Structure 1
Amino acid sequence: MDNRITKGSGEERHVSHVLADKMSSRPGGWSEEGAEVMIKLLSLKYNGVNLREEYLNEICQKAEKRDKRERVVKEIMKKNIKRV
């Protein structure tokens, strides 16, 4: 069975039902940010995305950006030290 959601399908109604059930299990217990994250995770899961792989990819991308920023800061500091 294909887990992808197609417009107007029974699967779309099922996912809507699952989301409504999850989001109303603790009324008032969700922050706006937490609700957004939960909806994103549930939609990825029901579309067949491997959440562990997505999480690891996200961590790697953040680490690469951090490393790049650190290299740029070091270069700027070196140039500023040479000027002084």
Structure 2
Amino acid sequence: MRLKDWLTSKQDNQHEPLEKETVALPLTHRGLLVVMRSLGVARESQRIDATEKQTIGSIRERIARFAERQGAWWDMP
């Protein structure tokens, strides 16, 4: 099952936005950087199709917005 399909099915199965089922995932600054870099590498992979790359990009953007609201900052491409 593809990531986007899974996210869509989670939203279709529950008539509430995906935001409500988001749980806190405490990460250190180093852990956050590793996650962001891993998502960046996955997005650049030739084995991932365009829709999944778009989903990965939106996940990275959400993480970045959340981290910025918490006071984090970093230089990510």
TM-score (norm 2): 0.31
Max Rg structure: 1
TM-score (norm 1): 0.29
